[in-house]
Amino acid sequence: MAGGMNEPDWSCVGAAWDEMRNQRMIPARTGYDPEFRAKLAEDHRELAGYNNYEYGRRAVEVLGEILNKDSRVLEIGAGPGTLTIPLAKVVKRILVVESYGMAIASLKKNLKDSGVANVEIREANWLDVGEHEIGGDFDLVVCSHFLWQMKDLEKHLAKMEAASGGYCAVIQPAGRDDMAKEVWTEITGEPYAGQFDPDADYFAYLILRRLGRLVDVQNVNYSMKRDFEQEVRYVASFIGRYAEVDSRVKEQIEQYVSRRGIRQETQSAVVMWWRA
Ligand SMILES: C[S@@+](CC[C@H](N)C(=O)[O-])C[C@H]1O[C@@H](n2cnc3c(N)ncnc32)[C@H](O)[C@@H]1O
């Protein structure tokens, strides 16, 4: 039956994916600071390594059961190396496909600072990389905090699988809903009543299942602490998708962050993997 649990059928989930994705990918409106994007990229670079790359280390612990020191890995959209750097320490070699120059500069700096030398970077749009260019025998093809970049999820999954001779894995963020709802109330004065869906990240699991990928799944927790300015930008980058962050809203965010205080937080991510 088309659309059955084990039968891939993009048409039945495409609309739901588009809706969630459109929300997730709205560019943040953060007009209060013309340098916002560059500063946020630098925050990402610095925070990728928080507590010795704890996010990546936790994910690698989970993926450890399908990896060994001879594994060859393809990572798509590596950003500043949040996963790449701890992963590179337990496998033979990683090929990274990353399209954004600023992310590549951050990745190169973090690789150098970490003394990691077994990562090759290809500056390219993943969607334009031909199968013949990278081959089809990576032991693991992985992307972390990346899925929402892909409009056609089925195509992306098929492309990952074509490059893999072993496993595929995706890692998704989880659990930012309370912050988004609180800040919404703070800046609009209205209680959150479903105006947007900060829980959208969780949908990936159901959609992957619906597309016939019977994933193994494990939740990981990791710690994160931003300084005051980083926390304000983090909140602004999230809430800026739903409301313009001008100087007035930025002040409201600052008040919210001051009231909550700066502390180490526990964040979550979901690691999902399957045999290609
Ligand atoms: C949200 S970041 C995640 C970075 C990192 N993987 C992490 O977990 O922190 C997504 C990354 O994917 C990259 N990216 C987006 N679309 C891409 C594409 N079509 N091809 C290659 N990289 C892409 C972006 O430039 C960005 O660095």
The 10s digit of each residue's pLDDT in 188-239 is 888 888 777 766 667 788 888 888 999 999 999 999 999 999 999 999 998 8
Share of the chain above pLDDT 90, in %: 66
CA–centroid distance, 250 to ligand 1, in Å, is: 26
pTM of the model: 0.91
Q: What angle do CA 99, 24, 40 make, to 5 degrees?
A: 55
Decide whether any atom of ligand 1 lies within 6 Å of the 97 Cβ: yes
CA nearest neighbour of 139 among 79, 77, 204, 65: 65
Decide whether any atom of ligand 1 lies within 6 Å of the 58 Cβ: no
Mean pLDDT of 76-80: 98
Decide whether any atom of ligand 1 lies within 6 Å of the 129 Cβ: no
**Lowest-pLDDT range of 4-18, 59-73, 139-153, 176-190:** 4-18
pLDDT reported for residue 200: 65
**Hey, what CATH topology would domain 10-275 get?**
Rossmann fold (3.40.50)
Decide whether any atom of ligand 1 lies within 6 Å of the 118 Cβ: no
The model's confidence at residue 26, banded by pLDDT at 50, 70 and 90, is: confident
pLDDT reported for residue 1: 36
Distance CA 40, CA 46 (A): 10
Query: Per-residue pLDDT tens for 124-166?
Result: 999 999 888 898 999 999 999 999 899 999 999 999 999 999 9
Distance CA 255, CA 272 (A): 37
pLDDT reported for residue 85: 98
Three-class secondary structure of residue 95 per DSSP: strand
Helix (H) / strand (E) containing 73: strand 72-76
Residues 6+ positions from 200 with CB-CB distance below 8 Å: 20, 23, 24
Q: Domain-by-domain residue ranges, the chain?
A: 10-275
